Structure 1
Amino acid sequence: MEFLDLTVEQLASGYVETEFTYECIYCDFKTFKTEIYNYNDKFYTALGMMQLHILIEHESSLNMLLNLSKKENGLSEHQVDLINMINKGYSDKQIANELKLKESTIRYQRFTLREKEKQSKIYLAIMKSLKQKPDDAFLNIHSNAKQVDERYIATKEDEEKVKQDFFESLYPLKLKLIPRKEKYKIIVLRLICQQLEKSKYSESELNDVLTDIYEDYASLRRSLIEYGFFTRDAFGKTYNKCV
């Protein structure tokens, strides 16, 4: 699932509800609404088990959101420390002692966080209004993108151009050549990822899928890693999709 397409409520809870399941947004874990789950001799509904999973495996959704990069959550290291201590119930005096600051400074920073929340609501409303104009829509930047710069700024119009100029077929996906221009190459990699159904592949599995798309599968595989669409384990045997 596209992390940036999730609602505020989904990001805050740590899971997505579908018709039949609850699905963790941080890993592949899911629960089914028709099932009852046994954990340590206690029984849980599908929702209860999902909430327990997030607590055990991820500590909390807040913890996971705070551990995102500054590019993703917009928070400085100091702000992350402050929010963690507020969440743990520390008083202003305790926080001031920990961070070696004045209590008045901590109170002001709490106030700043509340103001930022208000401003964010207005900003989200503005951006939602902008999205009502499809011709101006930009493509989302995937959460694991590396060294985000102008290469990642692309529109739906750019995507249509790439589809026409660089693909022989879209269903099934057949690539004519890998673009030299990095912006177009990133769009190609995004389109490839959208048609890869699994979230985890062995190297041979990924090679087989990419070979069907383009004969130079090794170049595609390297680019998927280079631009943050995939990660691989230390042994190079398992490839995990990041979008």
Structure 2
Amino acid sequence: MEMTDLTIDEIANGYIETEFTYECIYCDFKTYKEEVYNYNNKFYTALGMIKLHIAIEHESSLNMLLSLSKKENGLSEHQVNLINMINKGYSDKQIASDLNLKESTIRYQRFTMREKEKQSKIYLAIMKNLKQKPDDSFLSIHNTAKQVDERYIATIEDEEKVKQDFFESLNPIKLKIIPRKEKYKIIVLRLICQQLTKSKYSETELNDVLKNIYEDYASLRRSLIEYGFFTRDAFGKIYNKCV
């Protein structure tokens, strides 16, 4: 499950509740509601244990949220540092000293954060109402996309154009040429990725699949990595599908 599919409370708490379990959103750890857990000779309910797990293994849900990329949490490095210091109970004077800023600047930034919280609630309410209307025509962006910018803003109409102009066939999928325009290239890579059924490939396996799609399979493989559709291990031998 993607974090964007969770509620605000689930993201803030760091776990989700199902009928029978509590499940960490940062790893595969889960607890079962009917069980009692022993940790260091102390006994915990399933809820208590999932909270303890998050505190021990992840420090806190806040820590994990701050460690996300700027694309995911929208925070600059300075904002991350500021929030960390506020969370640790630093005074404005201490924060100003550590960040080489004036106390008045820190106070203003605290005030701005509170105003942003208010605005965010209104924004979320707007988006909740907007989602009740028919979906727009924009294609979704995969979570592992790198340096998201205007290249990723594409519509269903763009996708149809790409299918017609750059593919010989879609079943089986066969590419005529890799587009120069990056927006179209990303659409091509997304369509190809949708046809790759395995979550993990050896380099040889991936090459064999891509050879049947496009003659310059090496360029295709590099592009899948470059645009975040695949990652590879430290030895460059295992390719993991990200979407």
TM-score (norm 2): 0.75
Give the total of aligned pairs: 237
Letter in 2 for 1:175: I
Residue 88 of structure 1, CA deviation: 1.0
Which 10-residue stretch deviates more, 152-161 or 229-238? Answer: 152-161
1:231 match: secondary structure: strand
Residue 84 of structure 1, CA deviation: 0.2
Counterparts of residues 1-243 of structure 1 (less than 5 Å): 1-27=1-27, 29-31=28-30, 33=32, 36=35, 37-159=37-159, 166=167, 168-169=170-171, 174-177=172-175, 179-180=178-179, 181-191=181-191, 201=200, 203=202, 207=206, 210=209, 214=213, 220-243=220-243
Q: Deviations over 1:122-169 (max 9, x none)?
A: 222223333334352423322321232222112344446656774634
Change in CA separation of 1:198 and 1:207 when aligned onto 2, cut-off 3 Å: closer
Residue 90 of structure 1, CA deviation: 1.6
2:231 match: secondary structure: strand
1: CA distance, partners of 2:197 / 2:47: 25
Q: Which runs of 5+ in 1 are unaligned?
A: none
2:224 match: secondary structure: helix
Structure ID, larger Rg = 2
1: CA distance, partners of 2:219 / 2:62: 37
2: CA distance, partners of 1:23 / 1:189: 33
Change in CA separation of 1:72 and 1:214 when aligned onto 2, cut-off 3 Å: same
1: CA distance, partners of 2:46 / 2:212: 38
Q: Deviations over 1:46-87 (max 9, x none)?
A: 444443333333322212221223233222222111100111
Which 10-residue stretch deviates more, 7-16 or 33-42? Answer: 33-42
Higher relative contact order (CA 8 A, sep 6+): 1
Residue 115 of structure 1, CA deviation: 0.4
TM-score (norm 1): 0.75
Q: Which runs of 5+ in 2 are unaligned?
A: none
Residue 183 of structure 1, CA deviation: 2.7
Change in CA separation of 1:80 and 1:131 when aligned onto 2, cut-off 3 Å: same
RMSD of aligned alpha carbons:
3.6
- The answer (yes or no) to whether the contact 2:173–2:192 under 8 Å persists in 1 is no
2: CA distance, partners of 1:79 / 1:45: 36
Which 10-residue stretch deviates more, 178-187 or 75-84? Answer: 178-187
